[in-house]
A and B are shown apart, each in its own frame.
Chain A
Amino acid sequence: MISLELYLILAATVFGMGLISVLINRNLILLLISLEVMLSGVNLALVALSHYLQDLRGQVLVLFTIAVAAGSVAVGLSLLVGNFSLRGNIDLSDLSELKEDLPERSDFLASRGVKR
């Protein structure tokens, strides 16, 4: 019987490779793909722990993770399509429109009637 450590090290390796790819990539499609890879690593660790602890709650948690992954991928891909129709590329470094200077932002908030 294969020991638990091998499964957990494999899961940590898959998670870490996805993490590095999330940190360094600029392509939005590759970013979402590496998010899926990270979730797969976590799922593998959960299923392995659930098998070796003889408890089924980890597998139920994996079902929930898969559902949340489907929702997050739907939102992420629709944001990607919207960004592509707006700008014509899928570069992550162009997504800096929310970053504004502070006086302009306060003027913007005042123009919207927001009091602070």
Chain B
Amino acid sequence: MLYLIFGYFALSIIGITLMALSRRNPIHAVLWLLLLFMHIAVLYLFLNAEFLAAVQIIVYAGAILVMFLFTVFLLGVREMPREERFTNLWQGRVAVGLAMMAVLALTLSKIMPTWKGQYSIEYIERVGHTKAVGSVLFNEFAFPFFLIGVILLIPMIAVVAIAWRGRS
């Protein structure tokens, strides 16, 4: 039963990714991307990462998708021209990408986890997943967490600068 549900989600993630990347209408592509994020959030629930599933729904499906939809509706792009969809010499690029994908899948499928950390499933269920993630985040990764604040500030300044250059 578990394999059946996982097989459905794996196959539908691959199919949804193909649909999202092959649409010519950008609105359709963004909406298929929303469905892809929902399915990946369910896979996070499979992996006992419910806080990340909530963050995936809120940030990706709530914030980033709204930014995409706002831009698509602002520009009013209907469809791409049919003959100018791809770059020239795209067959070779597809071959290189397929080769890289095959090498990546073969390499990742050979990973055998032998090392085990201290955060077992029983510990996470006893403490609570959000509290466990928070303790790791603020004990071990406190300085990168502040750096993430700076990294979120810099794009704001960059966006304001780009908007000023576009207006003048």
Contacts and interface: CB of A to CB of B under 8 A. Distances in A.
The answer to whether A and B interact is yes
Interface of A: 1-2, 4-21, 23-27, 29-30, 32-34, 36-37, 40, 43-45, 47-57, 59-60, 62-64, 66-75, 77-82, 84-86, 90-93
A13 B40 CA distance: 13
Contacts of B33: 33, 36-37
Contact of A73 (B68, B105, B116): B68
Interface in B19-42: 20-21, 26, 29-30, 33, 36-37, 40
Contact of A67 (B68, B71, B94, B152): B152
Binding site of A, secondary structure by majority: helix, strand, loop or mixed? helix
B53 to A, nearest CB: 9
Most chain A CB within 10 A, of B46, B72, B80, is at B80
A93 B29 contact: no
Contacts of A2: 2-3, 6, 46
Contacts of B71: 29, 77, 80-81
A103 B52 CA distance: 52
A23 B30 CA distance: 19
B14 A13 contact: yes
B112 to A, nearest CB: 9
B144 interface: yes
A56 B155 contact: no
A74 to B, nearest CB: 5
